Structure 1
Amino acid sequence: MQDNTLEQRIQTLEDKVALKALVDTFANLADQKDLATQSLLFAEDAVVDTYFEGQLFASLRGRKEIQETFTGFMANFETAYHINGQHTAEIDGDRATAVHYCLVVLVNTVDGKKMRNTNGVYYNDEYVRQGGRWLISKRTSHFTWRDTMEMAAG
């Protein structure tokens, strides 16, 4: 980055901020269960591959399938909290890649008991700039661990 012009360095910084805002907006919309709006953060031909403990769980193609599947999944939970951590992005023109870490906390009721599922997740993301805005073109989700426990009555 040191050999780049000031304008190029500023553009890289702006792009990194925009990409971080993209993943944070994704998380907020998931927590609000606004999956229709969230789906617009994906390129029309986006791909999402999801792994649980190293095993492929789902492979989704296209914005419509992503929205339908995410909506069905989130319907299983009363509450969701995405707690985003580090996001390291590499920019290459109108394309970018990133690794993004997240804790995903999901709350549901099973047999009359409130259950909290805490998941350690990291995403390998690919992004594309279309129409002047960054979109997710491919997301590989790795749910690497899960802790499930009954919540105290409150």
Structure 2
Amino acid sequence: MCCRRFRKSSFESEESGAVNSIDDVMDELAIRDLSHRYAMALDKNDVEVWRALFSQGIVFESGTSAPRGLEDVVRIPEDQLKRYKKTLHSVTTQQVFLDGDKATGEVYCVAHHIYEDFHQNDRLPFDLSHNFLIRYDDDYVREDGRWVFARRRIITEARFVHQIIPAAT
């Protein structure tokens, strides 16, 4: 698995480093867009968009819990809203490696999870942001002409909490 990180991008051929076919470029862009749509659908609780991002056989791994399938995955946005007032997932670095109708990739993300807490016997509310530095280890597959997640493993690199200071009005 460690070697996946050091392969050339799908944009470059192995021999010359030149750009591959326009189809490869379009495939890589479509796969990169998956992570952005994933973040926005999760943050907006858009279950319809969220569901369309995953294959029927999705394997979703997070932490030490058992891998989850599609039935559990479609409930994740709703579960997030039960725990947090708001979330904001910011996708940063991405690498994609194409192999026909399959691909692998690694995605970095900074995720902010906003929730309310209280000072002094529940009398003074304030907001906190539970932040995660996340690395996704992904497998993608082309189904019915579109790219979807076949496997997504969430690796939390670090977590921290910040108090949110209200903006001046």
Partners of 2:161 and 2:97 in 1: how far apart?
34
Partners of 2:116 and 2:66 in 1: how far apart?
24
* Structure 1, 94-103 or 23-32: larger mean CA deviation: 23-32
Match in the other structure for 1:74: 81
1:2 Cα deviation (Å)? 5.8
Runs of 4+ with >3 A deviation: none
Q: Where in structure 2 are the equivalents of 1:1-154 lying within 5 Å? A: 1=13, 9-51=21-63, 56-61=64-69, 63-111=70-118, 112-154=125-167
- The normalised TM-score by structure 2 is 0.79
Kept after mapping to 1: 8 A contact 2:45/2:77: no
> What is the CA deviation profile of residues 43-82 of structure 1, one whole-angstrom value per residue up to 9, with x for unaligned ones?
011011012xxxx145211x22111244213321111111
1:150 Cα deviation (Å)? 2.0
> What is the CA deviation profile of residues 117-144 of structure 1, one whole-angstrom value per residue up to 9, with x for unaligned ones?
1110000000000000000000000112
SS at 1:31 equivalent: helix
SS at 2:21 equivalent: helix
- The normalised TM-score by structure 1 is 0.87
SS at 1:60 equivalent: coil
SS at 1:152 equivalent: coil
Kept after mapping to 1: 8 A contact 2:46/2:77: no
Partners of 1:83 and 1:20 in 2: how far apart?
13
Question: Between Structure 1 and Structure 2, whose CA radius of gyration is higher?
Answer: 2
* Structure 1, 40-49 or 142-151: larger mean CA deviation: 142-151
Name the aligned partner's letter for residue 148 of structure 1.
Answer: V
Higher strand share: 1
1:35 Cα deviation (Å)? 2.9
* Structure 1, 77-86 or 88-97: larger mean CA deviation: 77-86
Kept after mapping to 1: 8 A contact 2:138/2:149: yes
1:33 Cα deviation (Å)? 1.6
When the two chains are superposed, the root-mean-square deviation of aligned CA atoms in Å is 2.1
Partners of 2:127 and 2:73 in 1: how far apart?
27
1:114 Cα deviation (Å)? 0.8
1:110 Cα deviation (Å)? 2.4
The percentage of aligned residue pairs carrying the same residue is: 20
